Amino acid sequence: MKRHLTTTAALALMATGLGSAAFAEAHGGYTIGISNTVQGNGWREEMVCAMKAQALVSGQVDSLNIAHRNTDAAGQLEDIRNLIQAGVDAIVINPSNADGVNAAIEEAIAAGIVVVAVDQAVTAEGAYILSNNQEEYAYLGASWLFEELGGSGSVVYMRGAAGAGADNDRDAGFQRALAEHPGIEVVHEVFTGWQQDQGKQQILDYLSTGLPVDGVWTSGIDNVIVDAFIESDVPLVPIVGADNAGFVGQLASVEGFTGAAVTNPGSIGGAGVTLALQILGGEMPASNTVLVDPSIWANNDPEGIALIEAAQNPNLDPEWPVSVMIPGWTTYSMDEIIACAGPGE
């Protein structure tokens, strides 16, 4: 019995001692909490790195407290509440959905913590929102694709994750564009789950059937789709993707390929940190909600080509969006975001 207890005690101490080296020393300046519920996705990793880099260059943040894992809204409630317990001054979150984490956001606001939601909106009163316009994102790309096809043809519709809020908003935009182009037929609709391997397998499966495809709309799983066409020796068709480095590279370099990238900056995370710091400094924004509208870069018009050329950066991870900075909101350099180091790291 005695041995039993001493072993478990030693074990517990060892387990809990593991992280204490990283335990930030308490000193002045702000502590900012971050909550994100998708891990291992290029877009989200860029978002987190933008948050770290912006916190570092701002000089006002002593430490970042990052809860970054794959979980659901209930898990995000837990993370936000843990951040409240940690006594942070502000929390920047990418919400798992618009209503599901309101309870914890309201508790945070009641505790005097500034809450900024980036990328997707939340409905909690008193929270600040800095969001990409997801419906417009899909509408812009789909409209370009349908125009490119001359208003008629067979389109493969490769969505994000079933049941995700952003996917739902994008679907609304896609359907709006589809309704304006009655000659377009969606011949195949799949959920890539925003996973590269899954999306590639799905398009390979479709291509091997030999069924017609005149264009592909993707929800950001894009460069692997172009690869799949090339590997299957199927003539390339117009493809819409996001401004991920790999895809933007293909737009510039793959011969005979027409496509368009719609911007969806992951660096919105850095902008969220800036907004939180402004509010902490007493500088209130005019409105609680700031929407960032996307733009489209097509490689068949001179303006688009110029943007695509300017965005080429071999140092970026191919899954990272190339729009690594948002003028007026982020102040870090390219090297700083790629280094992905926060205060105290």
Partner 1 sequence: MSRIVARHGWTLGLLAILVLLFAFTKVIQPNFGPTGLDSLSRATLPFAFATAAMAIVVIAGGIDLSVASMMAVAGVTTAVMMDGAGTGMTLFTVVAVLVIGLGMGAINGALIVVTRVPDIVVTLAMLFVWEGVALLILKAPGGAATPWLREIIVGPFLVPWLPKSFVFLVVCLAVVWIPLRRSRLGLSIYAIGSDELAAYRSGIAIGRTRIIAYALCGLFAAMGGLTLTMSTGNGEPIPGPYLMASVAAVVLGGVVLGGGKGALLGPIIAVFILRLVRMDLTLMSVDPNVTTIVEGTIMVVVVMIGGVLAMRGRRQ
Contact region with partner 1 (CB under 8 A), list: 75-83, 129-137, 217-225, 274-282: 75-83
**How far apart are alpha carbons 316 and 306 in whole angstroms?**
19
**Residue 282 near partner 1 by CB under 8 A:** no
| Contact residue for partner 1 among 60, 82, 201, 313 (CB under 8 A) | 82
Query: Closest CB to partner 1 among 101 and 273?
Result: 101
Which part of the chain contacts partner 1 (CB under 8 A), choosing from 20-28, 140-148, 271-279, 302-310? 20-28
- Helices assigned H by DSSP within 86-123: 102-110
Is 186 a residue that touches partner 1 (CB under 8 A)? no
Of 212 and 344, CB closest to partner 1:
344
The minimum distance between CB 77 and partner 1, in angstroms, equals: 6
Is 208:288 a contact under the CB 8 Å cutoff?
no
Beta bridge partners of 156: 188, 216
Which lies closer to partner 1 via its Cβ, residue 236 or residue 339? 339
Q: How far, in Å, CA of 321 to CA of 93, rounded?
A: 19
Figure out which of the listed residues 29, 59, 87, 281 binds partner 1, where binding follows CB under 8 A.
87
85 binds partner 1 (CB under 8 A): yes
Instruction: Choose the stretch contacting partner 1; rule: CB under 8 A; options: 66-74, 140-148, 228-236, 270-278.
Output: 66-74
If one asks whether residue 19 binds partner 1 (CB under 8 A), the answer comes out as yes
Partnered with residue 35 across adjacent β-strands are: 67, 93
Among 47, 51, 55, 73, binds partner 1 (CB under 8 A): 73
Q: Is residue 122 a contact point for partner 1 (CB under 8 A)? A: no
Q: Which of 41, 58, 94, 97 binds partner 1 (CB under 8 A)?
A: 97
Shortest Cβ distance from residue 147 to partner 1 (Å)?
28
Q: How far is CA 59 from the centre of its chain?
A: 25
DSSP 187-253: EEEEE-TT-HHHHHHHHHHHHHHT---SEEEESS--HHHHHHHHHTTPPP--EEEE-BHHHHHHHHH
225's CB contacts (< 8 A; 6+ apart) are: 158, 199, 200, 203, 216, 218, 239, 241
Residue 66 in contact with partner 1, rule: CB under 8 A? yes
Cβ neighbours, 10 Å, residue 175: 16
Interface region with partner 1, contact rule CB under 8 A, candidates 13-21, 275-283, 285-293, 322-330: 13-21
Residue 256 binding partner 1, by CB under 8 A: no
Q: Which stretch binds partner 1 (CB under 8 A): 129-137, 158-166, 177-185, 263-271?
A: 158-166
The amino acid occupying position 134 is: Q
Nearer to partner 1, 44 or 181 (CB): 44
In 3D space, the residue among 334, 288, 337, 286 whose CA is nearest the CA of residue 51 turns out to be 337
Query: 82 vs 133, which CB is nearer to partner 1?
Result: 82
208, 229 Cβ separation under 8 angstroms: no
Pairing of strands 259-262, 239-242: parallel
d(CA 288, CA 307): 31
Distance CA 345, CA 341 (A): 6
**Footprint on this chain of partner 1 (rule: CB under 8 A):** 1, 4-5, 7-9, 11-16, 18-20, 22-24, 39, 63-75, 77-79, 81-87, 96-103, 161-165, 167-168
